[in-house]
Chains A and B, each alone.
Chain A
Amino acid sequence: MTHNVIETRVSSPRSQNEYERGTVSKSNRRRNRRRDFLEGVARHSILIVVLIFFLAPMLFIILTSVMSNSQALTSELWPNPIEWSNFGDVFDAVPLVRYFFNTILIAVLFTLFCLVSSVPVAYALAKFRFKGRNALFVVFIAAMMLPPQVTVVPLYVLYAHLGWTGTPLPLVVPALFGDAFTIFLLRQFFVSIPQSYIEAARLDGASELRLLWSVFIPMVKPAIAAAGLFAFFYTWNDFFNPLLYVGSNPDWYTLSIALSQFRSVHAVQWNLAMAATILFVLPVVVLFFFAQRSFVRGIALSGVKE
């Protein structure tokens, strides 16, 4: 926060004159304070105006989700009467419980698998010294940046041979073999942990696996939580892979697939569509608010190329 304050002070153009004149009179200082204040007001106004445009669609979604079907078809913006029952009706309109179960199952398994397999890899990349370490890290970055569509044909062929298409297996099993983004993110976190803790435990004769499990992991719990959140959100939100592998099997539809077909199946029930949207978004928003700090740190870290 102090950072912001300093920057604000530095950024106002008048202080340049102060240096030239060498002295700052009392009236001058008052004028400066007023200019600071006005600049602050201007900045907040800009942000608030942009924010109104940004948040308006969310407001429209919420308002429409509690409208009656006939009112959702008019251009009225305010719901009257408020129909909370939409959130119950939407469960009758689509097998939402089933889709919730599928999505949670896939997202939880993917997250667990990918953490278990990625933590040791990231730990080795951050804490062991070996030949080709940096080259290997670059390969992981390349794998992370590669569009998933580039490898999709051979992988689909592979899963088809295994008889896995139409099941959620292709969506979770690959996570057992490390996820490039998770490895990248965890490695970025891990390099910032001082080596001395590990060295001390190593001198005590602990095995490397024991070191990782009982010394290192307790120190980096927030990092692992953040990486887990990213993995969970990624699977929760994913559309392309579920479309490929379970898009033909309604038993295993995820919420993304179900929602993408909502309108074609249920004509123009905007109110129910928006209620389903909110139910789909709610778990993510709740998780986000619980873990906001480490999550935001994770995003900032993912943009730093080191």
Chain B
Amino acid sequence: MTSITAEVHGRTVDARARGAARRRRRNRSRLTILAFLSPGLVGLVVFFLYPLAANLYYSFTHFDLMNSAVWAGLANYRFMLNGDRQIGDALVNTLVFCVIAVPVQLLFALGVASVMARVRSGAGIYRTLFYLPTLLPPVAATLAFTFVLNPGTGPVNAILKALGLPQPLWFSDPAYAKSGLLMLTVWGIGNTIVILLAATLEVPVELQEAAQLDGANGTKRFWHVTLPSIAPVLLFSTIIGVIQSLQIFTQPYVVSTIVGNGSGTTADNLGYPQNSMLFFTEVLYQQGFRYFNMGYAAALSMVLFAATLLVTLVLVRATRRQFHGDGG
């Protein structure tokens, strides 16, 4: 209707009117877009950008929440490097756990997912059953594991005993505590299995068939067809896995609280047994919210932030070179 009227009325007048209308519409739609985005934008500023900046500032101060923050320069970071007895243990534990747990979790999930992708029927049922343990809230799963692995009467040691095998003290033995934690995290790997299964099933069948015609066997096809196809998803899972391992808190906290029970308050048990289960974020929690050394906790947060950022960048760059660099 409008276009017909425009033609009748001639060009010069109409063009100006149309321009103004367009500008009005654009302004209005800009306001609309801003209105739709506003909750998210406010959220980003208040809960992401502001805390990041404030955290950087707090990390250079002494601050106990009661009195206002006092500038302390690099004192917190210096204390971290030499002075804090706990943070060394926590750092080593966290890195060791990260380096071992992430590959184990991913290889396990990838193995299960690729076998599942190849069964003719029942993949859906397997997926549901493998996902069940992941539904357990971390505290519930951890409590369950402290029972299943309890050294005296736990079912695992009962079975090991019946089989005539050695029965470790699990969460009570510094040498075995992290193995228990590893099993606990592999038990809850359902998300990654579902993600990798979906990615594997999306690999185009034609690609598989073409490789088949070229004479590639099952292993070769996995390396040269399936793996490159699911590489982006695998990278994403790796990054998420590393970030989650670096910030692991609930499971070791609950294990130490429950198993280390008997020696006074909860705070004294962090890291039980013998600091073998002391992780980075636990020290952060203890310093910030039990001792109220908020400045020092902020400095620890900055280290966690830097580590997260670094790992993400390194992984993204390394994978890009691997899969896109030589292919063109």
Let me know if B92 is at the binding interface, CB within 8 A.
no
**Is A280 in contact with B132, judged by CB distance below 8 angstroms?**
no
Let me know if B123 is at the binding interface, CB within 8 A.
yes
Do A145 and B243 contact each other (CB < 8 Å), given the known contacts A43-B115, A273-B143? yes
Let me know if A300 is at the binding interface, CB within 8 A.
yes
> Min CB distance, B208 to chain A, in Å?
5
Let me know if A11 is at the binding interface, CB within 8 A.
yes
**Is A155 in contact with B36, judged by CB distance below 8 angstroms?**
no
> Min CB distance, A109 to chain B, in Å?
16
Do A303 and B44 contact each other (CB < 8 Å), given the known contacts A10-B205, A121-B37, A263-B143? no
In the complex, what distance in Å separates the CA atom of A292 from the CA atom of B172? 38
Contact string, A174-187, partner B, CB cutoff 8 A, digits 1/0? 10111110010000
Interface centre among B52, B120, B284 (most CB of A within 10 A): B120
**Is A11 in contact with B132, judged by CB distance below 8 angstroms?**
no
Binds A, one of B16-24, B77-85, B95-103, B214-222: B214-222
**Is B205 in contact with A3, judged by CB distance below 8 angstroms?**
yes
In the complex, what distance in Å separates the CA atom of A1 from the CA atom of B201? 10
Q: Which of B37, B138, B157, B249 sits near A75, CB closer than 8 Å?
A: B157
Nearest opposing residue in chain A for B112, CB measure: A50
Nearest opposing residue in chain A for B221, CB measure: A11
Do A154 and B58 contact each other (CB < 8 Å), given the known contacts A58-B133, A263-B143? yes
Nearest opposing residue in chain B for A1, CB measure: B121
* Chain B residues in 8 Å Cβ range of A192: none
> Min CB distance, A174 to chain B, in Å?
6
* Chain B residues in 8 Å Cβ range of A55: 129, 132-133
Let me know if B257 is at the binding interface, CB within 8 A.
yes
Contact string, B262-285, partner A, CB cutoff 8 A, digits 1/0? 000010000000000000010011
**Is A299 in contact with B191, judged by CB distance below 8 angstroms?**
yes
**Is B127 in contact with A296, judged by CB distance below 8 angstroms?**
yes
**Is A117 in contact with B40, judged by CB distance below 8 angstroms?**
yes
**Is B47 in contact with A244, judged by CB distance below 8 angstroms?**
no
Let me know if B73 is at the binding interface, CB within 8 A.
no
Let me know if A23 is at the binding interface, CB within 8 A.
no
Q: Which of B135, B198, B232 sits near A285, CB closer than 8 Å?
A: B135
**Is A47 in contact with B119, judged by CB distance below 8 angstroms?**
yes
Let me know if A4 is at the binding interface, CB within 8 A.
yes
Let me know if A102 is at the binding interface, CB within 8 A.
no
**Is B153 in contact with A74, judged by CB distance below 8 angstroms?**
yes
Do A123 and B36 contact each other (CB < 8 Å), given the known contacts A152-B301, A262-B143, A273-B147? yes
Contact string, B139-180, partner A, CB cutoff 8 A, digits 1/0? 110011111101011110110010000000000000000000
Nearest opposing residue in chain B for A3, CB measure: B201
> Min CB distance, B91 to chain A, in Å?
15
Interface size on A, residues (CB 8 A): 101
**Is A259 in contact with B120, judged by CB distance below 8 angstroms?**
no
**Is B199 in contact with A304, judged by CB distance below 8 angstroms?**
yes
Q: Which of B121, B129, B257 sits near A51, CB closer than 8 Å?
A: B129
Let me know if B229 is at the binding interface, CB within 8 A.
no
* Chain A residues in 8 Å Cβ range of B217: 13, 16
**Is A239 in contact with B139, judged by CB distance below 8 angstroms?**
yes
Contact string, B235-276, partner A, CB cutoff 8 A, digits 1/0? 111011001001101100110011001000010000000000
> Min CB distance, B261 to chain A, in Å?
5
Let me know if B289 is at the binding interface, CB within 8 A.
yes
Let me know if A290 is at the binding interface, CB within 8 A.
no
Q: Which of B120, B122, B133, B157 sits near A57, CB closer than 8 Å?
A: B133
> Min CB distance, B114 to chain A, in Å?
10
* Chain A residues in 8 Å Cβ range of B291: none
Nearest opposing residue in chain B for A208, CB measure: B32
Do A10 and B143 contact each other (CB < 8 Å), given the known contacts A77-B155, A280-B137? no
Let me know if A261 is at the binding interface, CB within 8 A.
yes
* Chain B residues in 8 Å Cβ range of A203: none
In the complex, what distance in Å separates the CA atom of A83 from the CA atom of B102? 40
Let me know if B328 is at the binding interface, CB within 8 A.
no
Nearest opposing residue in chain B for A305, CB measure: B236
Q: Which of A174, A177, A244, A281 sits near B40, CB closer than 8 Å?
A: A177
Q: Which 10 A-B pairs have the closest CB atoms?
A: A303-B195, A177-B43, A300-B198, A151-B51, A121-B40, A154-B54, A178-B40, A75-B158, A124-B36, A117-B39
Q: Can you name 12 A-B pairs with beta carbons within 8 Å? A: A54-B129, A56-B155, A57-B187, A123-B36, A139-B44, A146-B308, A148-B247, A154-B58, A239-B249, A263-B257, A273-B143, A305-B235
Interface residues of B (CB under 8 A from A): 29-30, 32-33, 35-37, 39-40, 42-44, 46-48, 50-52, 54-55, 58, 65, 112, 115-123, 126-133, 135-140, 143-148, 150, 152-155, 157-158, 161, 187, 191-192, 194-199, 201, 205, 208-209, 212-213, 215, 217-218, 221, 232-233, 235-237, 239-240, 243, 246-247, 249-250, 253-254, 257-258, 261, 266, 281, 284-285, 288-289, 294, 297-298, 301-302, 304-305, 308, 312
